[in-house]
């Protein structure tokens, strides 16, 4: 099959001087990017990378990371990109569960992270030697559409992140459909917002490059500060945002400083959580151009449905729209039978974007990836756990059937946070709930038992920051003498959620952090 990388290399042949990437280190042309990808591809070939080889990419945001992911795809292998700002222990668990067989990184990161990947790493900051050994393997064979393209992690019912396996055919179909539907081309200037390690960053990076556009990559810390974000958009002439969350848009709306932060931006694609609170607060006026609401799980290649939000939307509706090319969406009951239009049912997704399943977890794969009772022989559906109803506008999101929630665009299972809290020597019991505040934002509250009189909130946060990324940090810690239970002996989460905002036993330094900080 022809890959997205083939198209990027073709752009370099047609217009070699066109800018592909803009980073703090300067511009990279399509010709320069193609040369870097080609050289890395030869190195990967010499190291035996090919179909079904998982290559972990641990690099800072920039040209090296983009070239590494592209070179892996061009070899017909699979990449596992890592957010190097996350704790080392978490990254190590990712490469183990993703079964990474090769590491692409820099000298400094290789020493700092010391990830458990076999063999010496490919060092991206070292010159690539063009010796005969690099050329021995020859050009890559045509990529098998059913071979593995990338591995992405997502929380699951066990509380531990699961490695999701996505094939080349699903990735290629999604990227091409997105570029076509969004009307991207050489004039596109897209800002990379999503952090590496999350599948949204794949959309941020490869959809604009497929279209021959330019990707702007800056320090992510600047993107989180409204003034610097606005300055970045203006400085580089950004006109496309493909992976913003409603929480981020709300952050911009609440920090207006007399300048329109999205001036000149003609497309904003939002995903990761419900857009409804943003629209209810009148946020649509913040977006002068097109606003697209995207929906879909990691297990089905990033996003499955899209909805173009009108200039005057109904704030009571949570419309996520219709499936993209090659995707199938069915609303089914518990017996996998279709529900009538207008009746909530579980969102079950089929089509080319459905992943293989979870690496090393056959039981969970069999539970979530099921035969499609309405499709052709061999067709499968992914049971999302989301509820929705069908209308003339498409799907209306109606919540989840399990505990998983979205916080600042990330899918979160409270069980993962509970496990990390129980690793603290002073914690004997932990239950994490996910209430919604007055502004419609979901956050985490940790309910704890144990001798915590000498353990302030800061110490608990310090413990968690070594194990979890920021979006999994509880907003509050509630200390209890004992955890309430149901008659069946399970933690009574309903009772805990009803305890209200005041801690049952204040910590020595209990201070509520600002809303939405999660730190």
Question: In the numeric block, which tokens belong to residue 472?
Answer: 């999994």
Q: 460 with 454: CB under 8 angstroms?
A: no
Residue 144 is classified by DSSP as: P
Determine the Cα–Cα distance for residues 371 and 374; give it in Å rounded to an integer: 9
Residue 23 is classified by DSSP as: E
Ramachandran bin of 337, using left for φ above 0, alpha for ψ from -120 to 50, beta for the remaining angles:
beta
Determine the Cα–Cα distance for residues 125 and 127; give it in Å rounded to an integer: 7
Phi, psi of 345 (to 5 degrees): -145, 170
**pLDDT for the residue 489:** 54
* Other C-beta atoms lying within 10 Å of the C-beta of residue 176: 18
Q: Which of 273, 242, 233, 208 is nearest to 436 (CA)?
A: 273
Question: In the numeric block, which tokens belong to residue 339?
Answer: 């529900």
**pLDDT for the residue 222:** 86
**pLDDT for the residue 412:** 84
User: 56-91: b or e for each residue (b if 16 or more CB lie within 10 Å)?
Assistant: bbbbbbbbbbbbbbbbbbbbbbbbbbbbbebeeebb
DSSP run (H or E) holding 395: strand 394-400
Q: Is 263 helix (H, G, I), strand (E, B) or coil?
A: coil
| Half-sphere exposure at residue 11, Cβ-oriented, CA atoms within 13 angstroms | 22
Q: Give the residue ranges of DSSP H helices in 242-358.
A: 246-253, 276-280
For strands 54-58 and 102-105, give the pairing. Answer: parallel
Q: Give the residue ranges of DSSP H helices in 338-399.
A: 362-368
Claim: this prediction has a pTM higher than 0.85: no
* Other C-beta atoms lying within 10 Å of the C-beta of residue 224: 12
Q: Which of 78, 158, 172 is nearest to 368 (CA)?
A: 158
Task: Walk across the sheet containing 162-167 and list its strands.
Answer: 122-123, 102-105, 54-58, 78-82, 148-154, 162-167, 357-358
Beta bridge partners of 432: 446
Q: Would you give per-residue pLDDT tens digits along the chain (519 residues)?
A: 899 999 999 999 999 999 999 999 999 999 999 999 999 999 999 999 999 999 999 999 999 999 999 999 999 999 999 999 999 999 999 999 999 999 999 999 999 999 999 999 999 998 655 444 444 445 567 899 999 999 999 865 445 789 999 999 999 999 999 999 999 999 999 999 998 998 999 999 999 999 999 999 999 888 888 899 999 999 999 999 999 988 788 878 877 666 788 999 999 999 988 888 788 778 899 999 999 999 999 999 999 999 999 999 987 788 999 999 999 999 999 999 999 988 999 999 999 999 999 999 999 999 999 999 999 999 999 999 999 999 888 999 987 777 778 888 887 878 788 888 988 989 988 889 999 888 888 999 999 989 999 999 999 999 999 989 989 999 999 999 888 876 545 678 888 988 765 444 444 333 332 223 322
> Cα–Cα distances in Å, from 357 out to 58, 77, 327, 430, 507?
23, 17, 17, 30, 43
Determine the Cα–Cα distance for residues 313 and 325; give it in Å rounded to an integer: 25
Which residue shows structure tokens 């047609």?
A: 14
Beta bridge partners of 516: none
Q: Which of 258, 265, 271 is nearest to 290 (CA)?
A: 265
> Cα–Cα distances in Å, from 410 out to 131, 139, 199, 480?
44, 38, 11, 28
Sign, CA dihedral 49-54-57-63, equals positive
Residue 183 is classified by DSSP as: T
Q: Give the residue ranges of DSSP H helices in 237-285.
A: 246-253, 276-280
Domains of the chain (ranges, CATH numbers): 1-144 (3.40.50.980), 413-497 (3.30.300.30)
Q: 517 with 510: CB under 8 angstroms?
A: no
Determine the Cα–Cα distance for residues 352 and 193; give it in Å rounded to an integer: 26
Which residue shows structure tokens 């390690």?
A: 197
Residue 321 is classified by DSSP as: E
**pLDDT for the residue 508:** 38
Question: In the numeric block, which tokens belong to residue 216?
Answer: 């702007």
Dmax over CA atoms of the chain, in Å, equals 71
């Amino acid at each position: 099959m022809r890959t997205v990388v083939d198209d990027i290399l073709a752009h370099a042949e047609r217009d070699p001087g066109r800018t592909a990437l803009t980073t703090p280190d300067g511009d990279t042309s399509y010709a320069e990017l193609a040369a870097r990808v080609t050289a890395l591809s030869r190195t990967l070939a010499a190291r035996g990378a090919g179909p079904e080889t998982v290559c972990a990419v641990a690099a800072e945001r920039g040209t090296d990371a983009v070239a590494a992911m592209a070179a892996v795809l061009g070899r017909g292998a699979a990449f596992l990109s890592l957010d190097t700002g996350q704790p080392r222990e978490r990254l190590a668990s990712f490469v183990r569960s993703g079964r990474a067989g090769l590491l692409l990184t820099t000298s400094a990161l290789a020493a700092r992270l010391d990830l458990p990947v076999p063999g010496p790493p490919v060092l991206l900051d070292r010159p690539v030697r063009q010796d005969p050994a690099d050329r021995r393997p020859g050009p890559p064979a045509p990529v098998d559409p059913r071979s593995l393209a990338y591995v992405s992690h997502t929380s699951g019912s066990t509380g531990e992140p699961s490695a999701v396996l996505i094939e080349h055919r699903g990735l290629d179909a999604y990227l091409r459909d997105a570029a076509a539907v969004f009307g991207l081309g050489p004039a596109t200037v897209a800002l990379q917002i999503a952090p590496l390690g999350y599948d949204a960053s794949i959309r941020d990076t490869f959809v604009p490059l497929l279209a021959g556009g330019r990707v702007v990559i800056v320090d992510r810390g600047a993107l989180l500060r409204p003034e610097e974000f606005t300055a970045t958009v203006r400085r580089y002439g950004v006109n496309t945002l493909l992976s913003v969350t409603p929480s981020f848009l709300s952050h911009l709306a609440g920090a207006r400083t007399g300048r329109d932060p999205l001036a000149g931006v003609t497309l904003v694609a939002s995903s990761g959580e419900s857009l409804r609170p943003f629209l209810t607060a009148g946020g649509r006026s913040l977006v002068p151009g097109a606003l697209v609401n995207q929906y879909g799980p990691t297990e089905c290649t990033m996003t499955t449905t899209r909805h173009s939000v009108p200039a005057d939307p109904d704030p009571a509706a949570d419309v996520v729209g219709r499936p993209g090319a090659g995707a199938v969406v069915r609303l089914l009951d518990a017996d996998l039978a279709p529900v009538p239009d207008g009746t909530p049912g579980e969102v079950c997704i089929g089509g080319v974007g459905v992943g293989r399943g979870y690496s090393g977890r056959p039981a969970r794969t069999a539970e979530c990836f099921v035969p499609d009772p309405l499709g052709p022989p061999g067709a499968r559906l992914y049971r999302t756990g989301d509820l929705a109803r069908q209308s003339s506008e498409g799907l209306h999101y109606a919540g989840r059937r399990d505990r998983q929630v979205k916080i600042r665009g990330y899918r979160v299972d409270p069980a993962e946070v509970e496990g990390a809290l129980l690793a603290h020597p002073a914690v004997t019991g932990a239950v994490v709930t996910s209430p919604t505040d007055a502004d419609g934002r979901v956050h985490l509250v940790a309910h704890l038992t144990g001798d915590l009189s000498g353990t302030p909130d800061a110490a608990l946060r310090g413990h968690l920051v070594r194990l979890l990324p920021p979006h999994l940090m509880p907003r509050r810690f509630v200390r209890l003498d004992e955890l309430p239970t149901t008659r069946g002996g399970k933690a009574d989460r309903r009772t805990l959620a009803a305890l209200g905002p005041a801690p049952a036993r204040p910590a020595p330094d209990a201070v509520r952090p600002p809303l939405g900080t999660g730190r």
